[in-house]
Structure 1
Amino acid sequence: MKLLDIFPNTRTDQLQRILSDKFAWINQDKKGFLRYRALLQQVAHLRASSCDFSADMVCIGTATDLSLDEQQTVHQVLRSLMPWRKGPFSVFGIEIDAEWRSERKWNRIIPELPDLTDKVIADIGCNNGYYMFRMASHRPAYILGFEPYVHHYYAFHTLNTFAHQENLGVELLGIDHLPLFPESFDVIFCLGILYHRPSPIEALRDLHVALKPNGTLFIESQAIPGREPVALFPETTYAKVPGTWFVPTASCLHNWLTRTGFNKVRLFHDHAMSSAEQRRTSWMTFESYEDFIDNKNPALTVEGFPAPRRVFFKAVK
């Protein structure tokens, strides 16, 4: 599907220029573009005989779809796409135990979902597309993933080459590109992104612009405990992450949403983070949650800040 056919309100010239500039990276081999593209090309001819997106593990194909040599090639390509942050996946029988047990987050959202049938949806910071595949079982018209990182972009496209879901697409775009899609989406998911933005208010305004009237926003964010409407602004890092800017309380995020024009703002889930949900695995071998928390006091990060919670909001334009 062509983006311009799906999104008639798109600012066409600007979008085409941005995407052309991104793909100019191929010739310059920026961001590992050639490496990841070469991995995809090794397996681009393979297709899954069936897919199941309805359960916690996204299943794409079965082991019997491939020869032994093809199975080994796919396994090597998937390993070369490490680290896997979101999951779990089963790809031609190869199980990927990602860093995040993303099914837990999705299961918290499921009871709040509107009818996604024939809806146009955005997933902001979609990573490898785990949540997009889960949404696909609800028969949406189209889901556009915004993912500015080449690694995650190619992880999705490798998976979807196998799955061949024509109503799913990912582009090398970020949340700051949402104004190019005015009033374009029935539902927007922005999960785990807001605290990485230097201006959360501007980001929320961009989300508001891109929603259709009466459209629904799901936003999930890292948060600090407390009832006061305040946000933590770390000097350098929060839980070892230098790209963290504002970490709000739930009431602070509620106020941000209402003051940027959203209606029916509702906190529907709030829980403490733990290493049961985010952890190191054989598919993500770097530091993870247990390394970010004070080993003597799990209520604090290694910097001495309150340990993170996760808060889930639903709002309407």
Structure 2
Amino acid sequence: MQSMSWRSAFYNSIVNTKLELYIAEFAIILKDFEASVPAKDLNRWQRQLGQLPKVENIELIVGDSVSLNANNALTAGDIAKTISVLKNFMPWRKGPFNFMSINIDTEWRSDWKWNRVLPHLQNLAGKKVLDVGCGSGYHLFRMHDAQASQIIGVDPTALFFFQFHCFKQYLPSLNVHYLPIGIEAMPTTNYFDTVFSMGVLYHRQDPIKFLRELKDQLCSGGQLVLETLVIDGDENTVLMPKGRYAQMRNVWFLPSVDALIIWLQRVGFKNVKCVDIDCTSIEEQRATPWMETHSLIDFLDSENMTKTIEGYPAPKRAVLTASVS
């Protein structure tokens, strides 16, 4: 990733689209990225990207795992060195990925979430898609496999940005781009056919403002796909943890499904539906050799796993879809 050339690739990808109108705004938004990352981290991660193997004719294979296939181009020595390099980007939270026969067993089985969401999506073929809070970009590659024509992920987490580029640097022609910004920095585009937000809402101090920001990115007739933590209850039920929730410091509001439907309707979404509810299992989120610190099992009450260690209901996730007129 020479001299942050991802910016030029992104700008080139939006020429002759409505987003071209916002190139000057994007330039202002993105120019400070390098300055926002501690120099020691930026230099270390860029150096590590440069140490990944120089291999041509890479094939992207997308199934449950997002895989780069190098046709057995790596020797045993190459594999050992590459594992060492990739582990410098730990923790790997969202996946799974496979890097030229190296299985990156991430904390989350994000393929399980995708499989829950997939039956409820409008056809992504030829569509313009935005993923808000895209993490390391696993779902961006799944959206590409679903034949979306233009795919953009936004997430301000620098480590996730570099994890994405461990893969994207081998796929320069792929019209999949990651902007290391938050949704609040995005210009109002009313451009995308589908906007995804999976695992973000409960981190927002102002969830209504966040829902408006998502709506501002959708074109007329576009679909919102919202996945978030919820709790049981009626339309008046919203949990605000006193402190941590499942050991997460930055959890603010966990609404019931009925309350969340009202939130979405109040900001102007139509056709709001809850299409899936699922309790997060310790098989879906767990520690691995690629994410060695505590995970879900450590955040639940060991004597009653329907509760977090703080005594709140254990994580339950809902998927809602909605549209704009």
| Cα offset, 1:161, TM superposition | 1.4
- Mapped to 1, the partners of 2:201 and 2:271 lie a distance apart of 19
Q: 1:244 corresponds to which letter in structure 2?
A: V
- Mapped to 1, the partners of 2:289 and 2:155 lie a distance apart of 24
| Cα offset, 1:21, TM superposition | 1.3
Q: Does 1:263 align with 2:263?
A: no
Map of 1:199 onto structure 2:
206
Equivalent in 106, 115, 121 of residue 98 of structure 1: 106
- Mapped to 1, the partners of 2:161 and 2:148 lie a distance apart of 21
* Residues 72-221 of structure 1 aligned to structure 2 (within 5 Å): 72-178=80-186, 180-221=187-228
Map of 1:8 onto structure 2:
19
Give TM-score, length-normalised by structure 2: 0.91
The CA deviation string for residues 188-223 of structure 1, in whole angstroms up to 9 with x for no partner, is 110000000110000000000111111111000011
Identity over aligned pairs, percent: 34
Cα separation, partners in 2 of 1:262 and 1:244, compared to 1, 3 Å: same
Map of 1:29 onto structure 2:
39
- Mapped to 2, the partners of 1:235 and 1:211 lie a distance apart of 34
Q: Which runs of 5+ in 1 are unaligned?
A: none
Worse-matched range after superposition: 17-26 or 257-266:
17-26
Q: Which runs of 5+ in 2 are unaligned?
A: 1-8
Map of 2:59 onto structure 1:
50
Worse-matched range after superposition: 148-157 or 137-146:
137-146
Worse-matched range after superposition: 60-69 or 167-176:
60-69
| Cα offset, 1:154, TM superposition | 0.3
Give TM-score, length-normalised by structure 1: 0.93
| Cα offset, 1:23, TM superposition | 2.2
Secondary structure, counterpart of 1:144 in structure 2: strand
Tell me the number of residue pairs that the alignment of Structure 1 and Structure 2 aligns.
313
Q: Does 1:71 align with 2:79?
A: yes
* Residues 214-253 of structure 1 aligned to structure 2 (within 5 Å): 214-253=221-260
Cα separation, partners in 2 of 1:298 and 1:50, compared to 1, 3 Å: same
Cα separation, partners in 2 of 1:48 and 1:69, compared to 1, 3 Å: farther
Worse-matched range after superposition: 213-222 or 32-41:
32-41
The CA deviation string for residues 114-155 of structure 1, in whole angstroms up to 9 with x for no partner, is 121221111111111111111111222211110101100000
Map of 2:5 onto structure 1:
none
2:29–2:185 contact (8 Å) kept in structure 1: no
| Cα offset, 1:67, TM superposition | 3.5
Map of 2:4 onto structure 1:
none
- Mapped to 1, the partners of 2:249 and 2:173 lie a distance apart of 35
